[in-house]
Amino acid sequence: MNRKRTISIAIVALILSAGIFNPGCRRGGNVQEEETAEVKDSVPAMGFWPDSLLCEVGRIRQGETFSGLMVRLGMPAADVYALVDSLDTAFDVRKLRADKDIAAYYSTDTLEGGEVKKELRYVEYRKDIASSIIFKTVAPLGFWEYEKPVSNERKFSHVVISSSLWNDMQKAGSDPRLIATLSDIYAWTVDFFGLQEGDEFKVMYQQKVCEGAVVSVDTVFYAEFRSEGKVIPAVRFEVPGCGKYWKPDGESMKGAFLKAPLQFSRISSGFSYHRKHPVTGKVKAHTAVDYAAPTGTPVMSIGDGTVISAGWSGAGGNMVKIRHNGGIYMTAYLHLSRFANGIKAGTRVSQGQVIGYVGATGVATGPHLDFRVWKNGTPVNPLKMDNVPDPPLPEAMMPQLDSVYRHYSAIMDSLTVTNQQVL
């Protein structure tokens, strides 16, 4: 009896040592955790395995609807309607753009006789370089966003003007979005249509990169504009309710008026009291600046104000007049192809708001904007008008701004290359 009891106890001990009755020690539990982790790590970034499917890349056609696109790619119409219903308000199918790439992913099966049968399983709508929307076209229908890994690069660029800011920055390898950012920062202090040979821009900035391509120019930390011995630094120093960019003395880079009412064009005719009219041939005053630009180029109000009139002006074609600063200043924008939505007499507009689009209405030799400014009823040259800056940085914050300025300017002084480099 004692011998049998001893054997039984030994068997129980052996079982316990093996961990059969101990959930915390079971190897099976560890295996499950390891398998779960392995499955988790193996989930594809896109939500499916693209390499296992046939991929066909194309573009959305002009005027093509979401439903039409899906049917064209091979999705049954009934399933398309069900997918659209599932999207609800999460994705507006009306925002599909004809210039965007799409990728269709198919499963394939080779039939007898060698015929290949394709079944559409996923469609990728590529919004930009880094982001896409994936639509699952087989049950269960669905969609999700896919973001590729994006890295930040801090860069330095030094450009000396020889022809134009646009051309010279592109020659230096700068992304066009950096040019747009610079024009926004210096919009109140630098006349980008009056740049001269030898003018310089030095910029320290950050851009987002995906698979070697620039996604966006994320931040300009510091910039310098040099012209005829004059230097205008711009320091990024964010102050809620005050602004982002400052001069080292605390003066805001933002002014009451933009230097120009549109971007990236050229001056075709300047302010003059004795100009030969290109159509009539008569010599008369031209108290305006003409900006040559393609039809449809957005035209912005150079400052906050109230629309006095928006309509036909005879030889001036479609024209918008705006009153600023309680009537001290007035601006006019002539030869517009059309007005922006909501622009009419009495409308309040803000600085930089689109009020119309370049055209050639009225008496004009080609598409351009005729831009005029009056101060207290007297015409003034828009290129030479005074600009009152926004309120300066609060005195208590000046030491912080000075520290940031000294830090960035020291880095800038240490860089002497004449093209781009990664910092």
Question: How high is the pLDDT of residue 163?
Answer: 81
Q: Which of these, 73, 64, 68, 61, lies nearest to 124 by C-alpha position?
A: 73
Q: Is the pTM of this model over 0.85?
A: no
Name every residue whose Cβ is closer than 8 Å to that of residue 106 and which is 6 or more positions away in sequence. Answer: 53, 54, 55, 56, 74, 118, 119, 120, 121
Q: Report the distance separating Cα 258 and Cα 388, nearest Å.
A: 11
172-197: average pLDDT: 82
User: 152-254+415-422: what CATH class?
Assistant: alpha beta
Which CATH number does 50-147 carry? 3.10.450.350
Q: Check whether 203 has a pLDDT greater than 90.
A: yes
pLDDT band at residue 281 using 50, 70 and 90 as cut-offs = low
pLDDT in tens, 227-264: 888 999 999 998 876 678 999 999 999 888 888 898 76
Cβ-defined contacts of 169-174 (< 8 Å, 24+): 169/201, 172/418, 172/419, 172/420, 173/419, 173/420, 174/420
Q: Report the distance separating Cα 211 and Cα 128, nearest Å.
A: 12
CA distances from 66 to 24, 61, 104, 132, 169 (A): 53, 10, 14, 15, 38
Cβ-defined contacts of 161-170 (< 8 Å, 24+): 161/195, 161/196, 161/197, 161/198, 161/199, 161/200, 161/201, 162/197, 163/197, 164/195, 165/192, 165/195, 165/201, 166/264, 169/201
Q: Which CATH number fits domain 266-380: 3.40.50.300, 2.70.70.10, 2.40.37.20, 3.30.70.2740?
A: 2.70.70.10
Question: How high is the pLDDT of residue 306?
Answer: 94
Mean pLDDT score of the chain: 82
Question: What percent of the chain is modeled with pLDDT above 90?
Answer: 44
Q: Check whether 20 has a pLDDT greater than 70.
A: no
pLDDT band at residue 421 using 50, 70 and 90 as cut-offs = low
Question: How high is the pLDDT of residue 214?
Answer: 86
355-371: average pLDDT: 93
Q: Check whether 7 has a pLDDT greater than 60.
A: no
pLDDT in tens, 77-91: 999 989 988 886 667
pLDDT in tens, 63-78: 899 999 999 999 999 9
pLDDT in tens, 288-305: 889 988 999 999 999 999
318-329: average pLDDT: 91
pLDDT band at residue 266 using 50, 70 and 90 as cut-offs = low
348-358: average pLDDT: 94
